[in-house]
Amino acid sequence: MGLASYAIVEHHGTWVILHDGEAEGDFETKEAAFESAMSAASLAVRQGHEVHVSVPGRETALGSH
């Protein structure tokens, strides 16, 4: 089986899921996009795919790491 990748990214003030390079959805919150991606990822796992999910962390204040 193949690789199914899901990346949660901010896009013009909303959140989308990049699934294998294609933008899907339009979510108000990062958490809503994550829940949707996990549902799709779960199906991909059942189908035997390797799955990668990426979600950005909270931004830190400028100058701090």
Q: How confident is the model over 5-64, as pLDDT tens digits?
A: 999 999 999 999 999 789 999 999 999 999 999 999 999 999 999 999 999 998 744 444
- pLDDT for the residue numbered 1: 77
- pLDDT for the residue numbered 42: 97
Q: How confident is the model over 38-50, as pLDDT tens digits?
A: 999 999 999 999 9
* 3-class secondary structure, 44: helix
- pLDDT for the residue numbered 51: 97
Vertex 40, ends 37 and 23: CA angle to 5°? 55
Bridge partner list, 17: 8, 24
pTM of the model: 0.82
Amino acid at site 20: D
